[in-house]
Amino acid sequence: MYNVGTMQNPLRNVVALSALLFVFACPAWPQAATDAQQCIRNKADPETTVQYCTAALASGQVPADQLADAFRTRGNAYVRMHDSDRAIQDFNEAIRMYPPIMNRKPRDKVAARLAEIFLAESLDLRGNAYNAKGDYDRAIQDYSDALRMNPQDD
Contact predicate 34/61, CB 8 Å: no
Residues 98 and 116: their CA atoms lie apart, in Å, by: 7
pLDDT, residue 154, reads: 56
Contact predicate 94/142, CB 8 Å: no
pLDDT tens for the chain, 154 residues: list them.
Answer: 444 444 444 433 333 333 322 333 334 434 545 777 888 777 778 999 999 999 989 988 788 778 999 999 999 999 999 999 999 999 999 999 988 888 877 777 888 888 889 999 999 999 999 999 999 999 999 999 999 988 876 5
pLDDT, residue 153, reads: 64
Buried b / exposed e over 6-16, threshold 16 CB at 10 Å, is: eeeeeeeeeee
What letter would DSSP give residue 151? T
Contact predicate 124/142, CB 8 Å: yes
- pTM here is 0.74
What residue segments make up the domains of the chain, in order of their start?
10-149
pLDDT, residue 31, reads: 52
Tell me the CATH number of domain 10-149, given options 3.40.50.2020, 2.40.160.10, 1.25.40.10, 3.20.20.70. Answer: 1.25.40.10
Residues 82 and 76: their CA atoms lie apart, in Å, by: 10
